[in-house]
Every structure is written in structure tokens, then in C-alpha cells.
């Protein structure tokens, strides 16, 4: 495996509602790729990832999230698959997302190729009133919150031209097709992402490095 220093040139993330349930952003770039761009599934190698984050741990209801993912490639690296689980607790909301992706990687030779992938996602958002003291029992935000279950799809591509990579994807794209805004869309907004990256090649070909 060649040794690279990856320099991220641009990342674009467009959200259609600033109050919506956002997709997570992880410190490990490979996890971000799987969550946002299904063409990344099995692109480089197989992997099993597990991460946990907790913020404001001194509060009774701190923010915490858990991510688990697995990916691998088959058919001499041409077919990649991945599966991901993300769970977040934020204040009174519990959010769970299950997603899977399948990608096809078509090599051109000379470390170049194109990858295309599709994904499916199931999302659930529910209220958690455990250990909660409700002062206003008729609060409509609590009593009228129905909870949501949402199934959606995404697709994306990654183009590799030796040391240059560019890609684009959309997730939850069925919300693009909806002509009427709903509260459910606030929790499951459509996303469009794009990226460009350039790899600086080093003399040592035993490994590669990402910042």
C-alpha cells in the first residue's frame, strides 16, 4: 500500500433546515465517507469501526452518541458493502439510524477508477422522558410529539485520477422530491455533499497516512 498524505481541499455540505437532525461528523474521515457517500463502501479495504462520544458529562442529560460500522470488498475489490449504526441521545430526543450501502468500483489502471454506490437508511426519532420531571403536563411539544420512522435512500460517486479524488453524493434524496414541507423533514433533511482531495506521494510504499 502506498504512503500518502491526504490534503482535503474542499468539503461542501448543504442543509435545507438548520434546526434539523444532522448527520454526524466524525474525527475519522473514513467514517464520514461511509455516512455521506455510499460509493466509499469498500473502496480501500475492509474495516470495523466503533466510536463513542459524550459531551457536557456533568449534566444530567448530556449529549452522547455511539457509532458502529463495518465494510469490506469482494470480487477482487470491485464490489464493496458497508453497514452502519448511529445512535444519539440529545436532551429528550433519542435518534437511531441504520444504514447500508453497496458500491461498484471500476478501475481504469494506473491508480485511477470510478466508484458508484447506493445506500438505504432507516431512521427513528422518539422522546425519552425517563427521569424527567415535567412541570407542564399539557405541554403540546411533549404530548403531541408523535415520534418518527423514516426510510430513505442515497447515491454517490467517487472519481480517482491517480493522486486526485473528487466525489459527490446525496442522502435522503426523496425529500428533494417533496413539494410540501413537513415536520418529519425537519428531523430527516436531505443532504448534498461534495469533496476534492489530493494525495502527496512519499518514497516509502509500505503504508499511507491521513491527517
Distance in angstroms (rounded) separating the CA atoms of residues 38 and 104: 10
pLDDT for res 53: 83
Comparing CA positions, the residue from 75, 78, 82, 83 lying closest to residue 114 is 78
19-28, 62-71, 86-95, 114-123: which is most confident: 114-123
pTM of the entire predicted model: 0.75
Provide the mean pLDDT of the chain: 78
Instruction: Using the predicted structure, report yes or no on whether residue 79 has a pLDDT greater than 70.
Output: yes
Residue 107 confidence class, pLDDT cut points 50, 70, 90: very high
Amino acid at each position: 500500500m502506498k504512503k500518502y498524505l491526504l490534503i482535503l481541499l474542499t468539503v461542501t455540505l448543504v442543509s435545507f433546515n438548520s434546526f434539523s437532525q444532522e448527520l454526524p461528523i466524525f474525527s475519522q474521515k473514513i467514517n464520514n465517507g461511509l455516512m455521506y457517500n455510499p460509493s466509499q463502501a469498500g473502496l480501500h479495504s475492509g474495516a470495523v469501526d466503533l466510536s463513542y462520544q459524550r459531551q457536557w458529562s456533568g449534566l444530567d442529560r448530556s449529549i452522547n452518541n455511539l457509532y458502529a460500522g463495518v465494510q469490506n470488498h469482494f470480487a477482487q475489490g470491485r464490489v464493496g458493502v458497508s453497514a452502519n449504526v448511529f445512535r444519539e441521545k440529545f436532551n429528550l430526543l433519542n435518534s437511531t439510524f441504520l444504514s447500508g450501502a453497496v458500491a461498484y468500483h471500476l478501475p481504469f489502471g494506473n491508480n485511477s477508477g470510478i466508484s458508484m454506490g447506493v445506500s438505504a437508511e432507516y431512521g427513528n426519532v422518539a422522546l425519552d422522558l425517563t427521569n424527567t420531571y415535567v412541570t407542564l403536563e399539557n405541554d403540546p411539544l411533549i404530548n403531541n410529539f408523535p415520534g418518527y420512522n423514516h426510510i430513505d435512500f442515497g447515491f454517490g460517486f467517487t472519481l480517482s485520477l491517480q493522486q486526485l479524488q473528487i466525489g459527490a453524493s446525496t442522502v435522503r434524496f426523496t425529500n428533494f422530491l417533496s413539494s410540501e414541507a413537513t415536520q418529519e423533514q425537519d428531523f430527516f433533511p436531505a443532504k448534498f455533499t461534495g469533496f476534492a482531495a489530493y494525495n502527496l506521494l512519499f518514497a516509502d510504499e509500505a503504508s499511507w497516512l491521513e491527517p
